[in-house]
Amino acid sequence: MTAPDLSEEEQREQRRREEDAARLFSGRVEFLLSAPQLKFLPEPTMPEIAFCGRSNVGKSSLLNAITGRKAIARASVTPGRTQELNFFEVGDPGLFRLVDMPGYGFAKAPVAVVEKWKKLVRSYLRGRQILNRTLVLVDSRHGLKDVDREMMTMLDEAAVGYRVVLTKADKIKKSELDKTVAKVAEEAKKHIAAFPHLHVTSSEKGMGIAELRAAVVQDALG
């Protein structure tokens, strides 16, 4: 299950947060830099929210939907295209950053390349003090895979709080989606760093985007 039903007052507050977040993202959102190694990371001057998930999970599309841009993050039909940590700055002056992390779980990438990406991701997660939250994206059609569980365990061990976000929710029947939501939510409860509320989204249809956008701003700015 996702969040419990909200009271009228809580619904008003949620709408206010969503409107504030939409206004913020209607302003400056710019690509900052790509970091193939930790030494290229930007100075830790503001909070960061990271996005991670299996290759082809819809990460670029979700970033575009949240920011209200068509192509701030490039979507690719080639899984594993993102091989670096890509940083986007939000606000003028900058208030926080979004971090597009390398996709994982792609079968065709060379082992050495995969290990290099794993090391980069692991080092970033464990050593970045300004990382306020990570979003773990999971394809609604497939549910949690072993590589997702590996990432969740890594985040647990790094004591990095994270939200589980189901993507492409419009691609399956509601009955199947409900089963996936229940199953993923139940498993997420076993992970100490997982946020209790599960986000169900569709970048194409806009499902859950306003709520997730507000959550990103809240996680970044408090």
Q: What is the pLDDT of residues 154-180, one digit of tens each?
A: 999 999 999 999 999 999 999 999 999
* The residue to which tokens 């295209």 are assigned: 81
Q: Do the bridges between strand 96-100 and strand 85-90 make them parallel or antiparallel, or are there none, so unpaired?
A: antiparallel
Work out whether the CA dihedral 39, 61, 6, 24 comes out positive or negative. Answer: positive
Report the C-alpha gap between 94 and 49 in whole angstroms. 14
Average pLDDT for the chain? 90
Which residue, 184, 187, 189, is CA-closest to 199?
184
Whether the predicted pLDDT of 77 surpasses 50? no
Which residues 6+ apart lie within 8 Å of 153 measured at CB? 191
Kindly report the length of the chain: 222
Structure tokens at 39: 């030494």
Whether the predicted pLDDT of 189 surpasses 60? yes
Report the C-alpha gap between 72 and 88 in whole angstroms. 9
Q: Residue 11: what pLDDT?
A: 92
Q: Residue 175: what pLDDT?
A: 97
State phi, psi for 133 to the nearest 5 degrees.
Answer: -160, 150
Q: Residue 74: what pLDDT?
A: 60
What pTM was computed for the model?
0.91
Q: Which of 7-11, 19-23, 27-31, 209-213 has the lowest mean pLDDT?
A: 7-11
Query: Comparing 66 with 109, which gets the higher pLDDT?
Result: 66
Structure tokens at 118: 């794993």
Distances (CA, A) of 64 to 13, 76, 109: 25, 13, 25
